[in-house]
Structure 1
């Protein structure tokens, strides 16, 4: 069993003020794989004080030096890749052969790219009688999710390091292990003490204390929209900058002239990947009425071909927790009660008499956009198929949601897909089978959050703009 009961504060592994711990459960077999510290407000105060003390020196460190450290971190991540894969796989249930390319390869690339962004802090713009410069925003609090824990860690921490900020990180209590490995890597790469501090614990305690802390300047949160509202409320009295990546209920428009077989395969696998625990998942599939019956049959065949389990043949692993499994099953019950047609999957366990929090790939047909399963984020392997009469109706349905994180279009050609993508109110649109790109900004519209991660703009979220007026 992994011992994660210490905190990383001011460059040292220290005993927490709180003596409480939390069990970290492997959702694929229900075994306890680690004990993690359950920190309290006193622990938060010590970590924030360390970050504040380190800020002046780190923010004035030359960009070339920060860039070198970030590059070294990425190199060390590659060297310790197997450990990172194990940490993510055993705590959130993603099969190891998928966790490598889905959960770890991308974050290593993302960290490498942030090394090239440190120069943004040294750019000077001449604006008439003024000089416009960028400065590190200050002490940052990062509250990370369990579904892509290393990805979101890098999106926040890598950007903040490039910007010259210091930070306190709270991992999800379900998936803290990889953050401990990253703390070790930071020490190995010579990151100055106090720049990075790690304080695990419950969101209601550690997360709220960070959001309210007078010495925290920026809060970046990834999680549900409901929790994001609480984060914003807690941060408001001290007028912090708050960036959030929240929920989604993303549409996927398949046009009448698209390659239907390819589009359906892409759409089904997108929703089922990571057991549906992806905020950008294209969970509302919009199909022309004239091809709806064929599309449903293709989707059913594709979903039923996907293996569920924790072996090298599995496409879907376990849900992250018992609570998440029950949440998804409750939504499946709601879908049936609402009158949607259950095409495949459902309430029956896909692995009979085996431990683990599994849910079968589930598809509903006969769905309309007023149903709860079409409007609320399920965060599981559940696809809703919605017919449309013409493209104008498809775009209307696509935009009829309080969310705006992601979207997709599959059309006969790129120009047509881009034309439709420009009409969808969402922060990203994946056209004709595209995948995530770490060179592009990531974030949402509407109740899917505010701010962006990755690319130049992801670093700029942690920079202040100063105008120096010359006489």
Structure 2
């Protein structure tokens, strides 16, 4: 079992100020794999003080110096790539093939995206009126990341903060902290100045709130549930710090009869189940034009039955467990709610798959004849659960798609290019995927409404960590 009870503060690994051990559990076996420390407000104060001291000098580094450090980090990350993949599989339960091809790869892709953005970044420009606008690092940043795509969110916060010239304190999820600690080792090896990056593990109610309330934190960047995002915003309000949020989603997937649905429906169902359904932008509500509804249900049932649950350590295309007993219980409750509210169960249901009595494994589940007022259509399940409902007309589909408190992603399947553009323009979502198009590194990631504010990735993500200063000079004689 790993002993990871130290925090990374001011360029070194230090003991917590007060012992408070927590066991990290492998979700596939329910066995402890590591012991970490749960930090306190005092630990956060120490890390913030280190970041504040470092900011005075690190904020004065040049863009070229920061690019050099990021490129060195990229090289180190590639050298320790397999180590990262193994840790993510161990603590999250993501199947090893998925960890290698997706979970770990994002650390490379996002680094490339931010390095390219920084190389093209203009920190100073002159306006047509003669005034000068400078973009300067906002200051000391508090970063809170979730367990579901751990390195993805760490890279989307830590890298732009350091690229912008900010210093930071990271609080990763206590359920998946080992990958964050490995990333801290990489940052240290790359030679980032002491205090520019700091890491403290702990609970959101203690450490997360201490970061959000801290008077010396200039910005909070949070990814997680909408409920927790609201708490971060409230805690941050007294000090009027900038807050960026990447929160939940209930993303609609509009399938029109003129689409290549025999190919696209299976692909989007697999995307819904990817990472055991633990993705905020997963296409979890499938809206199907009525003329092809029965055909799509037949395809969906076949894909659901074909979806395998398996050991995360085994290579191949299958899904692993949910991250914790807390998440397992929540998913089971929502599957039961779908049954109780009258949705038709096509595949799956409550309980664990046969042969997986140990571990937090859930059955891939598909509901048909869902009404958009049902809990499985309104709430973010965050498990391998798909809700399918019919529609008769384009306008109806758009109304139902937008009838959600969320607005992270949306998906449109159609063979009509004009319809694709028309529907995309009317969907209230931060990202729209047409006919299976993927999200690409360097493009902005984020949503409307209760899916958050701000954008992550590339130049747009870099901007969130910069403050604007206008310099007014006397007019020339």
The bucket for the TM-score relative to the shorter chain is over 0.9
Alignment pair present for 1:31 and 2:34: no
Alignment pair present for 1:434 and 2:437: yes
Residue 126 of structure 1 deviates from its aligned partner by: 3.3
SS of 2:456's equivalent? coil
Q: Distance in 2 between matches of 1:155 and 1:209?
A: 22
TM-score by length of 2: 0.97
Alignment pair present for 1:46 and 2:41: no
Residue 121 of structure 1 deviates from its aligned partner by: 5.8
Q: Is the 8 A contact 1:124 1:133 kept in 2?
A: yes
Alignment gaps of 5+ in structure 1: none
**Cross-structure match for 1:11:** 11
Give a deviation string over 1:37-60, Cα, whole Å, max 9, x none.
111011000000000000021111
Q: Is the 8 A contact 1:67 1:118 kept in 2?
A: yes
Give a deviation string over 1:258-307, Cα, whole Å, max 9, x none.
11211210221011000000000010000011111111110010111111
SS of 1:385's equivalent? strand
Alignment pair present for 1:206 and 2:225: no
SS of 1:447's equivalent? helix
**Cross-structure match for 2:361:** 358
Alignment pair present for 1:107 and 2:110: no
Q: Is the 8 A contact 2:258 2:416 kept in 1?
A: no
Q: Distance in 2 between matches of 1:121 and 1:5?
A: 41
Q: Is the 8 A contact 2:328 2:360 kept in 1?
A: yes
**Cross-structure match for 1:87:** 87
Q: Distance in 2 between matches of 1:260 and 1:353?
A: 33
Q: Distance in 2 between matches of 1:166 and 1:88?
A: 26
Aligned pairs for 1:263-412 (under 5 A) are 263-310=264-311, 311-352=314-355, 354-412=357-415
**Cross-structure match for 1:455:** 458
Q: Is the 8 A contact 1:143 1:207 kept in 2?
A: yes
What is the CA RMSD across the aligned residues, in angstroms? 1.1
Q: Distance in 2 between matches of 1:12 and 1:444?
A: 37
Alignment gaps of 5+ in structure 2: none
Q: Is the 8 A contact 2:443 2:460 kept in 1?
A: no
SS of 1:403's equivalent? coil
Q: Is the 8 A contact 1:169 1:196 kept in 2?
A: yes
Select between 233-242 and 122-131 the one with higher mean Cα deviation.
122-131
Q: Distance in 1 between matches of 2:378 and 2:272?
A: 15
Select between 457-466 and 100-109 the one with higher mean Cα deviation.
100-109
Q: Distance in 2 between matches of 1:124 and 1:190?
A: 30
Residue 118 of structure 1 deviates from its aligned partner by: 3.0
Residue 123 of structure 1 deviates from its aligned partner by: 3.2
Residue 352 of structure 1 deviates from its aligned partner by: 2.9
Q: Is the 8 A contact 2:408 2:447 kept in 1?
A: yes
Q: Distance in 2 between matches of 1:121 and 1:138?
A: 18
Q: Is the 8 A contact 1:142 1:221 kept in 2?
A: yes
SS of 1:378's equivalent? coil
Q: Distance in 2 between matches of 1:183 and 1:126?
A: 40
**Cross-structure match for 2:60:** 60
SS of 2:160's equivalent? helix
SS of 2:471's equivalent? strand
Residue 418 of structure 1 deviates from its aligned partner by: 2.6
Q: Is the 8 A contact 1:66 1:115 kept in 2?
A: no
Residue 414 of structure 1 deviates from its aligned partner by: 4.2
Give a deviation string over 1:205-245, Cα, whole Å, max 9, x none.
00000000000000000000011111100000000100000
Give a deviation string over 1:148-180, Cα, whole Å, max 9, x none.
000000000111111100000000000000111
**Cross-structure match for 1:467:** 470
Q: Distance in 2 between matches of 1:115 and 1:449?
A: 25
Select between 252-261 and 409-418 the one with higher mean Cα deviation.
409-418
| Equivalenced residues, count | 471
Select between 203-212 and 120-129 the one with higher mean Cα deviation.
120-129
Q: Is the 8 A contact 1:67 1:116 kept in 2?
A: no
Q: Distance in 2 between matches of 1:414 and 1:159?
A: 35
**Cross-structure match for 1:124:** 125
Closer/same/farther in 2, CA of residues 353 and 181 from structure 1, 3 Å limit: closer
**Cross-structure match for 1:150:** 151
SS of 1:404's equivalent? coil
Residue 421 of structure 1 deviates from its aligned partner by: 1.2
SS of 1:316's equivalent? coil
